[in-house]
A and B are shown apart, each in its own frame.
Chain A
Amino acid sequence: MRTRPIVDPAPPAWTFPGCEVTALDSGLRLVLVDLPGQHVLSIRTIVPMNLVDEPADTEGIFTVMSRVLDEGTASHSPTEFAELVERAGIALGAGVSDGGLSVDMDVPSGYAAAALDLLTELLSEPVFPGAEVRRAVAARLTEIDHADAHASSRAAKEFLATAVDPSHRASRPTGGERAGVRAVTSDALRREHARRVGPRGATVVIAGHLAGTDVASLASRALQRWRADGQVSPTPWRPPPSAPTAGRIVLVDRPGSVQAEIHVGWPGPDRHVDGGWAPYPAAAWLLAGSPGARVDAVLREEKGYTYGIRGAYRSRRRGGHVVVAGAVRGDVAVESLGLLHGILDRSADGFTDAEVASAVDFLSRTAPGRYATADTVADEVAALALHDLPWDFTSAYLAAVTRLDAEAVSAAHRRWLAPGMAARTSIVVGDAADLEPALRRRAQEAATRLDVVRSRPA
């Protein structure tokens, strides 16, 4: 056996890859990131769309739209389009989040031209055939059933419904609920597409090995064809306001559960926050990110109550939440909830120098490996567009992380930490027959209210 080697503490000579940004006259921004050796190009398209702009009677329509953009265009039938995509080796996906529409393509570099043509086609001339729309609606309805059946997604949904004021769209699932989704039609999709999906304010990111191919010209030539005369600007984003029900404990009855899913959260900052974003991922890592983090040190490694509890500062485009969530053994669920809130209460005392040093080293030194491939770099740059952040945000953030100390991380965490159990929303998804009496006592002790949700949501 040898003795433990000493690690040279010098930080790596590495910076986040640079972005070359050009603007097309349509208002589209084209961002190129050259990554030598990455022969599968990652193309990410972001169209800022605010969910509050969905018509109230068809909430979920943006998500349904994202899934039928490639299901029939003015030039190709759904199966013809699928064939063109798949024969070019393209992996295609699309979805909607709080910041807008994302269309993702990964493609071998030799097929870049084909990919950019197909991308332009699905963005600019989808026709939303009735049969495909009905299929996408049915698929989304199934997806809602699945989300309600999984304890973790059920808890996340109940958290937003309890913590966010119902006047704000963020209190309901991004993909919509059953009634709104059922009301989506081809006509409604055409109308929304014409108003929302245009090049103005949109961004196309292309990351990968760019030398030897004039990707910039290929992209501008193809994407110049994307026009949308009727495009209207999205409503400005605002942080989701808290609901009167925030701070309650909500027990969602899931009979027969062999575990309880716990989901605790409170309002948090977004990445535009005063003082900078750098302290927040560090605080989350120390609280419930690292395998040795404070929550798992007790609930997993000391008690053996869980496979793992994870936490994060979740930034939206504007506003956010701090969330700590995971599954615990059913018969210790109420005890676990108490232990978790105790750890959160004590986190107000701050983090130690040693803790913060380890978080700083982890977050800053893993960056070269985390951003080693075209897809991870493209995803990060696309996230900047989705969150309305400058192109140098990531490198500035990583530099700021290296300057963090215990004082800075503790103060930032304290600034947002909701004081006490009754100030944090707690969701428990499990078997109410086992959990309700003890949970009711716990709610009384904490001077908050327990609500029990018994039926499946409509």
Chain B
Amino acid sequence: MPLDYPIVEHTLPNGLKVVVSPDHTIPVVTVNLWVGVGSRHEEPGHTGFAHLFEHLMFQGSAQVAKGEHFESLLAVGGRLNATTWFDRTNYFETVPTPALELALWLEADRHGHLLAAVNQTNLDNQRDVVKEEKRERYDNAPYGTALIDIYATLFPSGHPYHHPTIGSMDDLDAASLDDVHAFFRRYYGADNTVMALVGDVDPEQALGLVERHFADLRPLGEPPRPPGPQLDPLTEPATLVREDTVPNDRVHLAWRLPVDRARDHDAAALALDAVAGLSMSPATVDLVRQRQSVTHLHSSVLALVDGASIGLVVLDVAPGEDPVAVEDQFCAVLEAFLQAGPGEALLEAVRAQSERSWLSALAAGDERADLIAQSTLLHGDPALVNTRVDSLRGVSADEITQAARRWLQPGSRASVTYRRTEDR
């Protein structure tokens, strides 16, 4: 299915890239800003900073009071939030068309003039909130810290993906107001930001509004450091075992994959999906259906830009089964897949599933805006939304097999096992 979402690009003199994609189906517009700073940019001793900063962006700016950003957009029918990830921080809202200019004004005020409002009280309060976020999502949840262990096992100390976005609470405790100011000046600038506007807008009018509110944002001048070189797969398995009060043994397996948009990234991702992502995948059939040594199997790919993406498989070990044996069973299935590659039916299913998943993502204007901002900021390719499905469909069985043999060897896995201790 050829897709033809309209894409209008414009770059302001200060370097802000704007991509407008009109869609008049419903009377709303999504504003989505991607700032080129994530946890991959954080220095040792300053982890968790990009994320803490995201919280501070809701605490007021030069002309906006604490909480007012949320309140004033919600009150006109906006839905909004922000997230932090390894490669970027994004800020987004979907608003009724008449509220577009208000959204742009609010974003311009915080993206250009945040520091006027940051104070010690806000910093202390949001540091406490972030600590509760970490306790809730990581420390107090079964397996909540598994991803942190996986990153640390898969990547060497000092690598940008060695630590998670939530960061270290000691580092956050040490953060001062001066650090906050320095962080803003270093990373928040027009030429390190991309804005996607998707929805009920006329591109010319929308760009006029963006010019009006964002033209005075300062550029960084000096861009953040570029991504590092591609990491090779691990040369031998890296293993971590934890005893924990979890409901069942769980094995997490992870691989370093090619960075997003690298030639064999898609092939490696489709390979992982083929081997472990579907009901008809060989790992599901063998471990979940036949042996029943695994109660639940999940695979996913985190597409990243700085030296590696991450391929992840999670195996919930059935009661009475040995997690080491389960891991061996998975590796045997993987080994067989590397030999034979995907058969025709599996290939057809993987393609059909990835195609439907992409079409579903693009069906919503807010998600489309996020994907446009992503492809523009990280890959300089705003029209990716129109070409993605075809390029996925163009990956051959042979490319999938070759990519799997290069990147998904059992011997290249990082393995993190949470073993259940009997009593809490």
Interface residues of A (CB under 8 A from B): 1-2, 4-5, 7-8, 10, 12-14, 36-40, 78-79, 82-83, 85-91, 106-108, 110-111, 131, 134-135, 138-139, 142, 145-146, 148-151, 254-259, 290-292, 297, 300-307, 327-329, 357-358, 361-362, 364-366, 368-370, 372-375, 456
Nearest A-chain residue to B71, judged by Cβ: A292
Nearest B-chain residue to A354, judged by Cβ: B75
| Complexed CA–CA distance, A456 and B245 (Å) | 12
Any A CB within 8 A of the CB of B172 = no
B70 touches A291 (CB 8 A): yes
Residue of B28, B75, B345 touching A87 (CB-CB under 8 A): B345
Q: A1-B62, A12-B96, A88-B352 are in contact. Are A258 and B102 (CB under 8 A)?
A: no
Any A CB within 8 A of the CB of B295 = yes
- CB contacts under 8 Å to A, within B371-394, are none
A373 touches B136 (CB 8 A): no
Nearest B-chain residue to A83, judged by Cβ: B280
Specify which of B108, B352, B366 lies most central, judged by the most chain A CB atoms within 10 Å of its CB.
Answer: B352
A362 touches B74 (CB 8 A): yes
Kindly provide the distance from the CB of A270 to the nearest chain B CB, expressed in whole angstroms. Answer: 26
Nearest A-chain residue to B126, judged by Cβ: A304
Residues from chain B with a CB closer than 8 A to the CB of A362 are: 74-75, 77-78
A304 touches B75 (CB 8 A): no
Q: List 10 A-B contacts (CB under 8 A).
A: A1-B113, A12-B96, A85-B279, A91-B356, A142-B316, A146-B248, A292-B71, A304-B129, A327-B135, A372-B365
B142 touches A149 (CB 8 A): yes
Nearest A-chain residue to B292, judged by Cβ: A135
Nearest A-chain residue to B278, judged by Cβ: A86
Residues from chain B with a CB closer than 8 A to the CB of A303 are: 128
A305 touches B132 (CB 8 A): yes
A40 touches B360 (CB 8 A): yes
| Complexed CA–CA distance, A155 and B28 (Å) | 38
One digit per residue, 1 when the CB lies within 8 angstroms of any chain A CB and 0 when it does not, for chain B 7-39 equals 000000000000000000111100000000000
Residues from chain A with a CB closer than 8 A to the CB of B132 are: 259, 304-307, 327-329
Chain B contact patch, size range? 35 or more
Residues from chain A with a CB closer than 8 A to the CB of B142 are: 146, 149-150
| Complexed CA–CA distance, A188 and B245 (Å) | 35
A300 touches B26 (CB 8 A): no
Residues from chain B with a CB closer than 8 A to the CB of A328 are: 132
Residue of B70, B125, B137, B359 touching A108 (CB-CB under 8 A): B359
| Complexed CA–CA distance, A142 and B315 (Å) | 13
B292 touches A10 (CB 8 A): no
B424 touches A256 (CB 8 A): yes
Nearest B-chain residue to A290, judged by Cβ: B74
Q: A40-B356, A365-B76 are in contact. Are A148 and B129 (CB under 8 A)?
A: no
| Complexed CA–CA distance, A40 and B348 (Å) | 18
B364 touches A146 (CB 8 A): no
B96 touches A365 (CB 8 A): yes
B101 touches A138 (CB 8 A): no
One digit per residue, 1 when the CB lies within 8 angstroms of any chain A CB and 0 when it does not, for chain B 398-424 equals 000000000000000000000000001
Nearest A-chain residue to B101, judged by Cβ: A5
Q: A91-B356, A301-B66, A358-B75 are in contact. Are A368 and B113 (CB under 8 A)?
A: no
Residues from chain A with a CB closer than 8 A to the CB of B424 are: 254-256, 456
Any A CB within 8 A of the CB of B246 = yes
One digit per residue, 1 when the CB lies within 8 angstroms of any chain A CB and 0 when it does not, for chain B 139-172 equals 1111000000000000000000000000000000
B318 touches A138 (CB 8 A): yes
| Complexed CA–CA distance, A81 and B123 (Å) | 55
Residues from chain B with a CB closer than 8 A to the CB of A255 are: 424
Residues from chain A with a CB closer than 8 A to the CB of B128 are: 303-305
| Complexed CA–CA distance, A44 and B231 (Å) | 44
Residues from chain A with a CB closer than 8 A to the CB of B288 are: 135
Instruction: Provide the main secondary structure of the chain A interface.
Output: mixed
Q: A139-B295, A258-B140, A368-B26 are in contact. Are A361 and B318 (CB under 8 A)?
A: no
B360 touches A106 (CB 8 A): yes
B349 touches A87 (CB 8 A): yes
Residues from chain B with a CB closer than 8 A to the CB of A36 are: 25
Nearest A-chain residue to B67, judged by Cβ: A292
Residues from chain A with a CB closer than 8 A to the CB of B101 are: 5, 7
Residues from chain A with a CB closer than 8 A to the CB of B246 are: 149
B67 touches A291 (CB 8 A): yes
B75 touches A8 (CB 8 A): no
Residue of A79, A88, A107 touching B285 (CB-CB under 8 A): A79
B363 touches A39 (CB 8 A): yes
| Complexed CA–CA distance, A13 and B200 (Å) | 12
A89 touches B352 (CB 8 A): yes
Kindly provide the distance from the CB of A363 to the nearest chain B CB, expressed in whole angstroms. Answer: 9
Nearest B-chain residue to A140, judged by Cβ: B295
B76 touches A1 (CB 8 A): no
Q: A138-B318, A365-B77 are in contact. Are A7 and B28 (CB under 8 A)?
A: no
A86 touches B352 (CB 8 A): yes
- CB contacts under 8 Å to A, within B322-381, are 345, 348-349, 352-353, 355-357, 359-360, 363-366
| Complexed CA–CA distance, A439 and B399 (Å) | 62
One digit per residue, 1 when the CB lies within 8 angstroms of any chain A CB and 0 when it does not, for chain B 245-257 equals 1111000000000
| Complexed CA–CA distance, A148 and B420 (Å) | 14
Residues from chain B with a CB closer than 8 A to the CB of A2 are: 105, 108, 212-213
Q: A86-B349, A135-B288 are in contact. Are A79 and B280 (CB under 8 A)?
A: yes
Residues from chain B with a CB closer than 8 A to the CB of A365 are: 76-77, 96
Q: A79-B289, A89-B355, A361-B75 are in contact. Are A13 and B27 (CB under 8 A)?
A: yes
Residues from chain B with a CB closer than 8 A to the CB of A329 are: 131-132, 135
Kindly provide the distance from the CB of B349 to the nearest chain A CB, expressed in whole angstroms. Answer: 4
B129 touches A86 (CB 8 A): no
Kindly provide the distance from the CB of A30 to the nearest chain B CB, expressed in whole angstroms. Answer: 22
Any A CB within 8 A of the CB of B99 = yes
Kindly provide the distance from the CB of A170 to the nearest chain B CB, expressed in whole angstroms. Answer: 25
- Pick the 7 closest A-B CB pairs, nearest first: A365-B77, A304-B128, A89-B352, A145-B247, A82-B279, A86-B349, A8-B98
Residues from chain A with a CB closer than 8 A to the CB of B108 are: 1-2
Residues from chain B with a CB closer than 8 A to the CB of A14 are: 26-27
| Complexed CA–CA distance, A357 and B77 (Å) | 11
Kindly provide the distance from the CB of B378 to the nearest chain A CB, expressed in whole angstroms. Answer: 25
Residue of A37, A146, A290, A372 touching B28 (CB-CB under 8 A): A372
Any A CB within 8 A of the CB of B54 = no
A146 touches B98 (CB 8 A): no
Residues from chain B with a CB closer than 8 A to the CB of A304 are: 124-129, 132
A1 touches B296 (CB 8 A): no
Residue of B62, B78, B357, B363 touching A374 (CB-CB under 8 A): B363
Nearest B-chain residue to A6, judged by Cβ: B102
Residues from chain A with a CB closer than 8 A to the CB of B98 are: 7-8, 10
| Complexed CA–CA distance, A327 and B139 (Å) | 12
Residues from chain B with a CB closer than 8 A to the CB of A375 are: 360, 363
Kindly provide the distance from the CB of A132 to the nearest chain B CB, expressed in whole angstroms. Answer: 8
| Complexed CA–CA distance, A307 and B55 (Å) | 11
A82 touches B140 (CB 8 A): no
Nearest A-chain residue to B106, judged by Cβ: A4
Specify which of B131, B356, B359 lies most central, judged by the most chain A CB atoms within 10 Å of its CB.
Answer: B356
